[in-house]
């Protein structure tokens, strides 16, 4: 199968890059051959950097990340001093660069896709036109654990449900040969990672300022501004000057750094469930000067935990009575309750049809071909070809509950086969995509590692985003799993302005 790299037009057959496992210092330009145009300046620059300098920069970056406390928590794990649960997400020094034209197309595709998905969620909780049109079986909606009957008929501001969407995109070979961008997954509930996108950029500008004068890299640091604009635009009509807050599960949550970071950057309060209460069908927070009304909650707490009266009764992370206030239109939740109905893996195959149905347009971004095990024909194919496929649990996330056929042992395949046969509707399968690679600084030097991209799409009065997103990289050789919970790292993502 053809392999694509971001920096090189063609990787040597064994998958190694020319400057793998050797000093970069003093490499002549002729050694860095086959570089794609938009990487040429960078590759020449990289070839001139002594290896010690790059190592020193990497250590500097790690030291800064520790000091700033850019960490994520791992449940049940211990730090090296045995005390805590905080880990650094590995940061790679080599940027992922995307040419302007490729990004412009991707951006159009993202606007289109997220617009259609929001229309779909609205439809699910109202007329269900798409079912009436025969494009989607009703069972796919009502049988979905993420479908929230409480949301049926509820009016939400601007009819937007997923205000913040993270769309996972990979670059891989198309059927006809050349590389193409595919959407791997839509994250419409509480996607995270945007703080790493911002911190990675800050770090790169600090470590390598000269590169930013050699390249015109589209800025991303205004993301918190766009986010605040989006949240304010989503406020209920009961107020002209809405009070926005970020709701976090607390400092032991894996994404706590991001919650605190975004609240601070937007200049709004970071609240926990215990800080909120409901009175007379409005939500208030407890302040040093008495109760203060809250109009928009950017919640980073899952549906299940939002309101112990409506969902899990044991939850202490939410606010009792919140759902009623929300249904009455007296507070806005971003994202809305019940968006999960549109982002699980059994709905994913229908997204191209949604785009045509709601917008009357051809999809700009491709879906990965997907076999739905609920269909007997497709199930048969999946069971016969498991060692070539990636099989995913419909509700799995974070790289859990999935089988990468080519990398799995016979035992693992058999185990999954039994699971799929027992509950076919709980699984989908996709061909093993050869995700593109990008040169990455690893222990032995520089080597290609697989990457993906998560742009963050904001829907308020309009759909907008900052150029690029978070590039995640699988640091293990050959691995296709980029999730930070599975040892993935991140890279700065450069969208070129020319």
Partner 1 sequence: MLSRTADHLFWMARYTERAENTARMLDVNYQTSLLPQSAAVSKVGWQGMLSISELMPAYQAKHGDVEPQRVMQFMVRDESNPSSILSCLRAARENARAVRGSLTTEAWETQNQTWLEVNRMLRTGDFERDPGQFFEWVKFRSHLSRGVTVGTMLMDEALHFMRLGTFLERADNTARLVDVKFHAVQSDFFGAASEKDQEYDFYHWSSILRSVSGFEIYRKVYRDVIKPERVADLLILRADMPRSLHASMNEVVHNLANVANDQSSETQRRAGKLRAELQYGDIEEILANGLHAFLTQFLDRVNDLGARISRDFLVPA
Please give the residue ranges that form the binding site for partner 1 (CB under 8 A): 66-69, 81, 83, 250-251, 260-261, 263-264, 269-272, 274-275, 285-290
Whether residue 160 contacts residue 232, with contact meaning beta carbons closer than 8 Å, is answered with no
DSSP 405: G
> In which element (H, E) is residue 262 found?
helix 256-266
Please tell me whether residue 332 adopts helix, strand or coil conformation: strand
**Burial zone of 231 (CB within 10 Å; 0-12 exposed, 13-18 middle, 19+ buried):** buried
CB-nearer residue toward partner 1: 37 or 81 = 81
CB-nearer residue toward partner 1: 69 or 478 = 69
CB-nearer residue toward partner 1: 259 or 454 = 259
Q: Torsions phi, psi of 458, nearest 5?
A: -105, 130
In angstroms, give the least distance from the CB of 88 to partner 1. 12
Looking up tokens 């770090």 gives: 203
- CA–CA gap between residue 15 and residue 31 (Å, rounded): 16
In angstroms, give the least distance from the CB of 245 to partner 1. 9
- CA–CA gap between residue 458 and residue 75 (Å, rounded): 30
Q: Around 325, how many Cα atoms within 13 Å sit in the side-chain half-sphere?
A: 27
Q: Torsions phi, psi of 58, nearest 5?
A: -65, -40
CB-nearer residue toward partner 1: 56 or 251 = 251
CB-nearer residue toward partner 1: 12 or 69 = 69
DSSP 168: E
DSSP H helix total and E strand total for the chain: 13, 23
Q: Torsions phi, psi of 69, nearest 5?
A: 75, 40
Q: In 10 A of CB 308, how many CB atoms?
A: 18
CB-nearer residue toward partner 1: 167 or 263 = 263
Q: Torsions phi, psi of 239, nearest 5?
A: -145, 150
In angstroms, give the least distance from the CB of 155 to partner 1. 30
CB-nearer residue toward partner 1: 108 or 279 = 279
In angstroms, give the least distance from the CB of 260 to partner 1. 4
Whether residue 88 contacts residue 66, with contact meaning beta carbons closer than 8 Å, is answered with yes
CA distance readout (Å), 400 to 161, 433, 483: 26, 18, 9
CB-nearer residue toward partner 1: 87 or 417 = 87
CB-nearer residue toward partner 1: 154 or 260 = 260
In angstroms, give the least distance from the CB of 87 to partner 1. 14
- Cα-only R_g, the chain: 23
> In which element (H, E) is residue 68 found?
helix 51-68
CB-nearer residue toward partner 1: 107 or 272 = 272
83 preceded by a cis bond (ω within 30 of 0): no
């Amino acid at each position: 199968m053809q392999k694509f790299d971001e920096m090189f037009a063609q990787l040597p057959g064994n998958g190694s890059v020319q400057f793998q496992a050797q000093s970069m210092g003093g490499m002549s330009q002729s050694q860095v051959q086959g570089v794609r145009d938009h990487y040429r300046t960078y590759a020449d620059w990289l070839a001139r950097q002594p290896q010690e300098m790059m190592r020193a920069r990497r250590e500097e970056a790690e030291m800064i990340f520790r000091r700033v406390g850019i960490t994520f928590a791992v449940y049940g794990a211990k730090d090296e001093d045995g005390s805590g649960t905080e880990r650094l997400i590995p940061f790679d020094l080599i940027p992922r660069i995307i040419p302007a034209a490729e990004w412009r197309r991707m951006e159009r595709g993202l606007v289109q896709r997220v617009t259609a998905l929001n229309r779909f969620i609205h439809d699910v909780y109202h007329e269900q036109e798409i079912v009436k049109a025969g494009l989607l079986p009703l069972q796919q909606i009502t049988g979905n654990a993420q479908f929230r009957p409480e949301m049926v008929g509820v009016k939400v501001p601007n009819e937007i449900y997923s205000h913040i969407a993270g769309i996972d995109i990979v670059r891989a070979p198309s059927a006809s040969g050349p590389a193409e961008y595919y959407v791997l997954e839509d994250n419409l509930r509480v996607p995270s990672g945007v703080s790493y996108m911002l911190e990675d950029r800050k770090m790169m500008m600090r470590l390598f300022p000269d590169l930013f004068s050699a390249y015109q890299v589209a800025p991303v640091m205004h993301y918190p501004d766009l986010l605040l604009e989006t949240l304010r635009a989503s406020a209920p009509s009961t107020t002209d000057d809405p009070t926005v807050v970020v709701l976090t599960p607390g400092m032991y949550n894996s994404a706590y750094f991001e919650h605190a970071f975004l609240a601070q950057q937007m200049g709004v309060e970071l609240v926990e469930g215990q800080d909120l209460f409901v009175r007379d069908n409005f939500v208030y927070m407890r302040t040093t000067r008495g109760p203060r009304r809250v109009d928009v909650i950017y919640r980073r707490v899952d549906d299940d935990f939002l309101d112990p009266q409506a969902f899990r009764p044991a939850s202490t992370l939410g606010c009792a009575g919140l759902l009623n206030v929300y249904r009455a239109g007296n507070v806005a939740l971003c994202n809305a309750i019940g968006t999960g109905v549109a982002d699980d893996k059994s709905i994913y195959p229908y997204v191209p049809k949604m785009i045509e149905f709601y917008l009357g347009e051809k999809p700009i971004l491709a879906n990965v071909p997907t076999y739905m095990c609920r269909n007997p024909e497709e199930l048969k194919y999946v069971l016969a070809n498991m060692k070539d496929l990636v099989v995913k649990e419909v509700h799995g996330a974070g790289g859990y509950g999935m089988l990468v056929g080519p990398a799995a042992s016979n035992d693992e395949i058999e185990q999954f086969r039994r699971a799929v046969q027992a509950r076919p509707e709980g699984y989908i399968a996709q061909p093993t995509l050869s995700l593109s690679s990008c040169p990455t600084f690893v222990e032995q030097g520089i080597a290609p590692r697989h990457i993906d991209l998560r742009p963050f799409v904001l829907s308020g009065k309009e759909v907008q985003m900052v150029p690029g997103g978070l590039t995640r990289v699988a640091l293990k050789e050959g691995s296709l799993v980029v999730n930070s919970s599975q040892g993935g790292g991140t890279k700065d993502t450069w969208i070129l302005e020319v």
